[in-house]
Structure 1
Amino acid sequence: MNRSIRKVAVLGSGIMGSRIACHFANIGVEVLLLDMVPRELSEAEAAKGLTLEHPAVRNRLVNQSFQQTLKASPAALYSPSFANRVKLGNFDDNLADIKGYDWVIEVIVERLDIKKGLFEKVDALRKPGTLVTSNTSGIPIHLMAEGRSDDFRKHFCGTHFFNPPRYLKLLEIIPTGETDPAVLDFLTHYGDLFLGKTTVLCKDTPGFIANRLGIYALIQTIRVAADMGLTVEEVDKLTGPVVGRPKSGTFRLSDVVGLDTTVHVANNLYASGEGTDESREGFALPAVMQQLYDQKWLGDKTGQGFYKKIKDEKGKSVILALDFASMEYKPTEKVKFATLEGTKAIAEVSKRFGVLLAGKDNAGEFYRKTFSDIFRYASFRIPEIADETYRIDQAITAGFGWQLGPFETWDAIGVSKMLQIMEAEGMKPAAWVYDMAAAGHNSFYKIEKGQRWYYDRSTKDYKKIPGQDSFVILSNLADKIVWKNAGANVYDLGDGILNLEFKSKMNTMGSEVIEGIQKSISLAEKDFRGLVIGNESVEAFSAGANLAMLFMFAIEQEFDEINMVIAQFQQTMMRARYSSIPVVTAPHTLALGGGTELNLHADKVVAHAETYMGLVEFGVGIIPAGGGTKEMALRCSDMYQAGDTELNILQTAFMNIAQAKVSTSAHDAKAMNYLQDKDQIVLNRSRLIAEAKQAAVELAENGYTQPKQRNDIKVQGKAGMALFMAGIAQMRLANYISDHDAKIANKLAYVINGGDLSYAQQVSEQYLLDLEREAFLSLCGERKTLERMQGLLNGGKPPRN
């Protein structure tokens, strides 16, 4: 069957339902979002004289839920305009409309009887072949399908999204014994390609995979912390980025998710684990969790949980942390462990674990206890919840934002070494792990010929992880590096395409990265036919130029050095634009300052949907000078049409730079003119480099011709400059900006309008690049610019001096 998804109905408009609806709207699908009809009027409705039959009353619940979602932060939609793709209604008046929809997703209250009652109605209304899935996180999938028609059961399964659906990659797919395998194949592919998800096939077991492991790890972490007398702040530091997990850590994450949600899932897992889970008691709530739950200190939703935010006597926000011993709140304290200090120089997460587990302080003990327990528990879940290690690791990394799953972390430590640590802690994993080690297999994974293999307990040998052919995974291609230096690697991706990977901290663009860009283009021009610039960093595509180096030159007043560095940076950007081979960039996460400028000069940008782009130099007292200001003037010039008020178009670009505005998504970057119609947006981050490679191949095969530098950029000259400067002066008089803000803005206005020209005329790219560089140099000589740079480099926000 050639199935496509054009229209999706979401039943239930709560936090998850509304956000799932928004994510389908993000990809262009028409969505119907339904909820219940209220049983009684609100006070406001009664005051207006409305009745229960009034449309506004009947849709009140769905309207309120959807509006709350649209106001929520982080945003559920890539662009506010996408809200128009969601139609709102209620179960009584609009449920019959599902007959015209391709996929019906249930996201209502977690009660089996209510779900079954709704599915009975859906079964009677849906057309044959319509997909029906449940987003339940705790109810067995097969129970919900009982009593339904054969066609319903054939097209029914669980599709468990993680909240928030736009940002968390995991989509667990849970079949029943009657689900058509073709449906599973379709959903797996659709979730990957269209929804941008890591789709993991799960067994219909309690908590499926991610919650089963993730909630166990969370509760055990809290239990160990309480036993060891660790503070809330200490645990969040230990369970954050240092081990490749979200910066929220354990307790902050619990406050964001809501303790009631965690308790609900934990209680379900405890109840369902009787007789089937050897570690069932691990889901019993620690005393502190039970006490918080009883007192309704549930986290952000109630204003306090493990943390509490208050205003001090000066009206400043202060974060307090819970003291387990007294159950009272105290000011947060800075955390420092000798063990963590020993990892500061280790950039790769996988290489930190040896230091962390060898620690002689409380940090080391904490890691030995918690790692031993989660590894032990994960080993016993095979084959109960999954037959393969990689499914467990995929679910945990995609659902909880860990860089490495349990078995990947175990590999990074060393299987035999970890076994010794576990036994010293009084814990032993499942027998199959000992069998694996005894057979001489020293890892759960291995890489051969660019492909990743996993140890299979049933065959006692390695098998290739399926589905890799659609992806380019740089970490698997160490044998394909054709050139490297301290800040960059160049890989041969095959088909005549190279890939340049940045390797500096936050992928900032210092001398090694600039050398890498130049070298990769030279290699591609000589022996290949295209270049991709992309990386697999979880932090940033590139956070921009190396500010520390620039600050060092500026503080020493080495203006010749700064001029040379900026000129080289400009030449490198221009070479990317005007090379003889196509250059395709693959940005994701942060692409700021110079990172944005590189994308502005690519032949094509293949951007992940979650790409946050911006020319942010203004914040540290300078203007974009790697071709960024020039390129925005050029793009505005190309937009001008007869009858346009050209200064309005240019002013938008000027304000984006002057406000250091960063896009909230790749779609937003397109609205800001940082991405263009020729560029491509990819939902699945894992596919990004593969899609960029394909774009480079297509450009080459379609007869790529080296472009010529432009000399037809229309600039506004004095007329535009006068208008912008008048606006800047008014903002200064109104105290919206400082004197130094005004100085930077005037420099920016001068450059983007083409300088001191008496009338609007056409200029060359090099003319604008020279203006950029001159303005940049002059601002580097300003004391207040240096103060801003220093403020950022010291880990804070630049002062608005």
Structure 2
Amino acid sequence: MIEKVGVLGAGSMGAAVAALAASAGLEVILLDVKGEGDPAGPARRGLERAVKQRAFLDPSAAGRVQVGNVEDDLPLLAGCDWVLEAIIEEREAKRTLFQRLAAILPPQTIVTTNTSTFTLHALLPDELGAWRDRFFVTHFFNPPRALLLCEVTAFPEGEGERFFGFVRFLEQRLGRRALLVRDTPGFVANRFGIYALAHAVRLTTELGLTPEEVDALTGPLLGRPRSATFRTIDLTGVDILVLGTRSLQESTGDDYAVPDWILELYQAKRLGDKTGGGIYRREGEQQLTYDPLQHGDRPFRPAAIPGLDDLLRQPFPERLVGALDLPSPYGDYVRHLLGRTFGYVLARTRDAARDIASVDRALEWGFGWAAGPYAQMQFLGLERVRELLQDAGVPVSDLLALAEERGGFFRDGRVLDPASGELIPEEQLPSTRRTRQIRLREALDRQGTHDLGDGILAVRVRSLEALPELVAGTLAHGPSALVLVPAFAGLGYPYEDLLELAERGEWETIEQRLVTLQEALRAVARLPVPVVTALDGEGRGAATTLALWSDATVAFLTTPLGFPGATVGLLPLGALTALRVRAEAREYGLQAPLRAEFGVVSALTAFLASERVESAQRAGISGLLGDRWLATMDRDGLLDAAAGLARALARSVPRRPLGDAVELGTAGEQVTAGLRLAELEPATRQVVEALVRAVRRSGNVDDLLAAERAVLRELLRDGEYRQRARATLQALAAARR
């Protein structure tokens, strides 16, 4: 069980991993070199930088990080379950640090290095042979908040229960896409991804293209990020490209050389966005591009490639196939780039990867490719791949010949094993579980429903008003439980429609719409099977309300939650009812009058405080996720976690006070005093006073729902309120953009 983590090195990566671990609820000790004046200054500044860069998924977690320095504070690491080294990428500096740690760390502490270059064999001093079963690589990708890949490897004798338990920890507690790789320089993602990037740069001048044309060809057209080649280099840094390719060329002996014009930019310290410009830069209002042929800047020229726009409207992989046939020199560029990339991947897979699926996952998870190189080769057909290799002057690997003999790299749920040459079941591969979770979410988006096993159905909910019909349809399949996954537009409530209806004075229609919205929530509470809501992405407004009406909730830690605009009148119907009933139920042991007053104050206080909640953990603690909830950092495993909760509830439907005509106490004058209305803004006071009047006269759930409708109708009749509500909606929409 890992509960305390030590991180050595408070640079961009070390501090970001410390933030990740603290966000997962772990205690963290972050050490860096000793500072002058403030011995912990460098580590403290790294922590402050991580906060500023939003590396903490839970903003309140910074308090779980203790800073110090490696000269005085190494003994603090003796109580850590895991120590991560993330110092400068210098072999001897790392080895010396490990030697110092050997005298401090107990035998059970796991030690990992975040190296992206060196092997375990190169880093472990001979005298630390006893570490071989607990010394691993954990190659995180930066920034870890956005890039989930973590390449992991161990010595052969270290691949035991402790290693695989640690891999599960990385996945389930830290939300990583842990990929098992071989102990080779550059591992998999960088070795192949940087090779493809370096050759994309080299082919620019070899074939006479401009940076703008290359970026147009190497982005979404080839299933790669929109930043493509040169924009990516500017984002990450020209220095990172130069140093990374130099290191990989030295450690592997392979051809990673970049052209002289890139070295010119590096020597001139034109490193990209961090220095005000690299390949691209802005001078006043003018966008400039560094021209590799002229060795100087010129005005930016948008690419004009015949047929490109039509191809970009095609789905992948159709556009990949079409890119090969673009007119010269553009089609030549694509063919040579794919030929060189495929040739290198085929030649080096056995060295770097455990299986070909891991190569695809590394490029997809670490470099943002829509499909990895083996999937691309399968799309194109092996005969066409052989032609690409020959046209690029690349030797044809025996791995391609094996695939031709076996009918492909992938066939009927089986995958070619490079070691044996046989097709083996994909389920046997280490990355299959994570891949299945990712594909499950994608399938739910496409199909709207998905069977999670054991009779548990996941349902994508896109409209609150359509929810009763949607769940009624799923009940025809006889599920044992439902997992509702909301994907509402905006806040999920038809505020714009209600404001327009109010302008026209259509009060009967407004009442019908309000009843329909509330009945959608009542339909959830009346279901004969347990209901779990899974919140991912946008969870504010109707999605938070749906969680309150469900039997349990699972939420990704950074999902935005709460009720934006509620205090100025954008009332989320059904939310106050749920908050009041649940608040009162939690105080069941109190005397009845006090319980009623406490329930109302608690509910209204939560209502006022929940315009924006920064993390699901805080939302759960404040009562916004119901009485059974789980906040997780494992976004890929969100549906599995929801299915686990649903499975636990499936034996019996929990009591649902929200679906019953439960009698509620009548609140006294203490409610108003408890809320300190005088301290509120006038617009907020108008809303809260109306809500207080409503809850005072509500004796059961039906009464309270009716009172909520009455409050909103009352507000809608006020022209100033309508104007204020529209302005709030516009501000919220602008913030989302």
Q: Distance in 1 between matches of 2:7 and 2:497?
A: 52
Could you tell which deviates more after superposition, 773-782 or 665-674? 773-782
- The residue that corresponds to 1:506 in the other structure is none
**AA in 2 matched with 1:8:** V
- The residue that corresponds to 2:640 in the other structure is 690
Pick the aligned partner of 1:263 from 239, 242, 264. 242
Q: Alpha-carbon deviation of 1:580?
A: 1.9
Q: Alpha-carbon deviation of 1:269?
A: 0.9
Q: Distance in 2 between matches of 1:229 and 1:558?
A: 66
- The residue that corresponds to 2:591 in the other structure is none
Pick the aligned partner of 1:394 from 325, 343, 361. 361
Q: Alpha-carbon deviation of 1:699?
A: 1.0
**AA in 2 matched with 1:431:** D
Contact 1:226 1:324 in 2 (8 A): no
**Structure 1 residue matching 2:71: 3-state secondary structure:** helix
Q: Distance in 1 between matches of 2:365 and 2:77?
A: 31
Contact 1:134 1:157 in 2 (8 A): yes
**AA in 1 matched with 2:624:** Y
- The residue that corresponds to 2:276 in the other structure is 303
Q: Deviation string for 1:445-494 (max 9, x for gaps)?
A: 644xxxxx42223233232233589679478679xx9xx9x975323333
Contact 2:16 2:144 in 1 (8 A): yes
Could you tell which deviates more after superposition, 224-233 or 689-698? 224-233
Over 3 Å counting, the alpha-carbon distance change for 1:86 and 1:625 in structure 2 is closer
- The residue that corresponds to 2:570 in the other structure is 623
Q: Distance in 1 between matches of 2:193 and 2:503?
A: 51
- The residue that corresponds to 1:650 in the other structure is 604
Could you tell which deviates more after superposition, 591-600 or 784-793? 784-793
- The residue that corresponds to 1:374 in the other structure is 341
Contact 1:543 1:595 in 2 (8 A): no
**Structure 2 residue matching 1:37: 3-state secondary structure:** coil
2:569 aligned with 1:603: no
Q: Deviation string for 1:269-327 (max 9, x for gaps)?
A: 122232xx3xx1xx2123443232112122343233345467x6xxxxx6945343566
Pick the aligned partner of 2:39 from 55, 58, 75. 58
Contact 1:715 1:752 in 2 (8 A): no
**AA in 2 matched with 1:289:** I
Q: Distance in 2 between matches of 1:369 and 1:410?
A: 14
Q: Alpha-carbon deviation of 1:375?
A: 3.1
2:107 aligned with 1:107: no
Pick the aligned partner of 1:172 from 147, 151, 165. 151
Over 3 Å counting, the alpha-carbon distance change for 1:167 and 1:625 in structure 2 is same
Q: Alpha-carbon deviation of 1:411?
A: 3.9
Q: Deviation string for 1:425-451 (max 9, x for gaps)?
A: 66676332243234433x53644xxxx
Gaps of 5+ in 1: 46-56, 313-317, 448-452, 503-508, 730-741
Q: Deviation string for 1:101-144 (max 9, x for gaps)?
A: 32222221211112111111212332224322211111222021
**Structure 2 residue matching 1:270: 3-state secondary structure:** helix
Contact 1:13 1:35 in 2 (8 A): yes
Gaps of 5+ in 2: 588-593
Q: Alpha-carbon deviation of 1:215?
A: 1.5
Q: Distance in 2 between matches of 1:762 and 1:7?
A: 47
Q: Distance in 1 between matches of 2:328 and 2:585?
A: 62
Q: Deviation string for 1:696-727 (max 9, x for gaps)?
A: 11112255345424664988999699987984
Contact 1:24 1:31 in 2 (8 A): yes
2:456 aligned with 1:497: yes
Contact 1:573 1:626 in 2 (8 A): no
**Structure 2 residue matching 1:148: 3-state secondary structure:** helix
Q: Distance in 2 between matches of 1:240 and 1:668?
A: 38
**AA in 2 matched with 1:33:** L
- The residue that corresponds to 2:141 in the other structure is 162
Instruction: State how 1:270-669 maps to structure 2 within 5 Å.
Output: 270-274=249-253, 277=254, 280=255, 283-308=256-281, 320-324=287-291, 341-342=309-310, 353-354=320-321, 367-413=334-380, 415=382, 430-441=397-408, 443-444=409-410, 446-447=412-413, 453-457=414-418, 458-466=420-428, 473=436, 488-501=447-460, 509-510=462-463, 515=466, 518-524=469-475, 527-534=478-485, 545=492, 567-616=515-564, 623-625=570-572, 627-628=574-575, 631=578, 650=604, 653-654=607-608, 656-657=610-611, 661=612, 663-669=613-619
Q: Distance in 2 between matches of 1:772 and 1:366?
A: 64
Q: Distance in 2 between matches of 1:203 and 1:389?
A: 12
**AA in 2 matched with 1:530:** A
Q: Alpha-carbon deviation of 1:566?
A: 5.9
Q: Distance in 2 between matches of 1:388 and 1:100?
A: 37
- The residue that corresponds to 2:629 in the other structure is 679
2:654 aligned with 1:704: yes
Contact 2:493 2:541 in 1 (8 A): no
After superposition, the CA RMSD in angstroms is 4.7
Contact 2:360 2:371 in 1 (8 A): yes
Q: Tell me the TM-score normalised to structure 1 length.
A: 0.76
**AA in 2 matched with 1:103:** W
Q: Distance in 2 between matches of 1:525 and 1:319?
A: 61
Over 3 Å counting, the alpha-carbon distance change for 1:80 and 1:439 in structure 2 is closer
**AA in 1 matched with 2:469:** Q
Q: Distance in 2 between matches of 1:616 and 1:765?
A: 21
Instruction: State how 1:761-800 maps to structure 2 within 5 Å.
Output: 764-771=703-710, 774=713
Q: Alpha-carbon deviation of 1:525?
A: 7.1
- The residue that corresponds to 1:23 in the other structure is 20
Q: Distance in 2 between matches of 1:333 and 1:747?
A: 56
- The residue that corresponds to 1:214 in the other structure is 193
**Structure 2 residue matching 1:19: 3-state secondary structure:** helix
Over 3 Å counting, the alpha-carbon distance change for 1:197 and 1:758 in structure 2 is closer
Q: Alpha-carbon deviation of 1:150?
A: 3.0
Over 3 Å counting, the alpha-carbon distance change for 1:77 and 1:651 in structure 2 is same
Q: Deviation string for 1:398-438 (max 9, x for gaps)?
A: 22344432323444555555555666666676332243234
Over 3 Å counting, the alpha-carbon distance change for 1:385 and 1:473 in structure 2 is closer
Could you tell which deviates more after superposition, 171-180 or 575-584? 171-180
Q: Deviation string for 1:723-769 (max 9, x for gaps)?
A: 8798445xxxxxxxxxxxx6xx68855765566x8989877342155
Over 3 Å counting, the alpha-carbon distance change for 1:133 and 1:333 in structure 2 is same
Q: Alpha-carbon deviation of 1:207?
A: 0.8
**AA in 2 matched with 1:464:** E
Q: Distance in 1 between matches of 2:44 and 2:674?
A: 46
Instruction: State how 1:719-730 maps to structure 2 within 5 Å.
Output: 727-729=680-682
**Structure 2 residue matching 1:613: 3-state secondary structure:** coil
Q: Distance in 1 between matches of 2:281 and 2:76?
A: 45
Q: Distance in 2 between matches of 1:91 and 1:529?
A: 55
Pick the aligned partner of 2:102 from 107, 110, 123. 123
Residues matched between the structures, number: 720
Over 3 Å counting, the alpha-carbon distance change for 1:78 and 1:716 in structure 2 is farther
Over 3 Å counting, the alpha-carbon distance change for 1:100 and 1:719 in structure 2 is closer
